[in-house]
Structure 1
Amino acid sequence: MAMSNKKISSVINSDSFLGDKGPTEASLLQAVLPIVLLLILTPVGLFLFGKSYIFVGVLGLTETLANVWAAVAAVLLLHVLLGVFIYRAVKSGEKKPDKLD
């Protein structure tokens, strides 16, 4: 399925609220897809890696305890990633005050 270059509009049947420089569906997908993949794949990868190599391999925990601690680590990582994402979104959305000369 091909991505359309149709502009996203905040008002139906009007130009983009950003004028001619409004975001396209492709540019929005390009901006959001890496973040979504990071938020999904990193905690899952940490769970699998942590369980197999850290909690069972290095620390020698039982399978049940290894699952619990790997899940805790994955949830904590997910919260950190979400916090960073929200912080960056808030910081990028803030406008700097106009310079008065």
Structure 2
Amino acid sequence: MDSDNHKQQVEKQAEDIQIEVDKIFEMARLNNWSLEQFAIKVLAGATDYDLGYFAIAAQLVQKVTKLDGLSSIEILKFLIFKVQQQDTLKIKQAQEMFFRD
């Protein structure tokens, strides 16, 4: 029974994250954000650990690096740490990563 409860909690969290991500994409669409504006908003939101933005950023890092999810999250946390330290080189590298396909 505990595993069913845990599974339901994980599914609920995933649904909540998806709702936040959908809101962000809708906001981007409604405001016609350029790719650069989107990258900056995602980086800023991830730096604030806003769940939706963090999820988007983690997916972008995972897509670019082709690493597993946990490794991508660790890279993102490192980049956020550097952004918080105002390491301009790392900020630029992070923004460029978000521009890649």
Q: Same fold (TM over 0.5)?
A: no
TM-score range, shorter chain: 0.3 to 0.5
Q: TM-score, normalised by structure 1?
A: 0.32
Q: Which has more radius of gyration?
A: 1
Q: TM-score, normalised by structure 2?
A: 0.32
Higher relative contact order (CA 8 A, sep 6+): 2
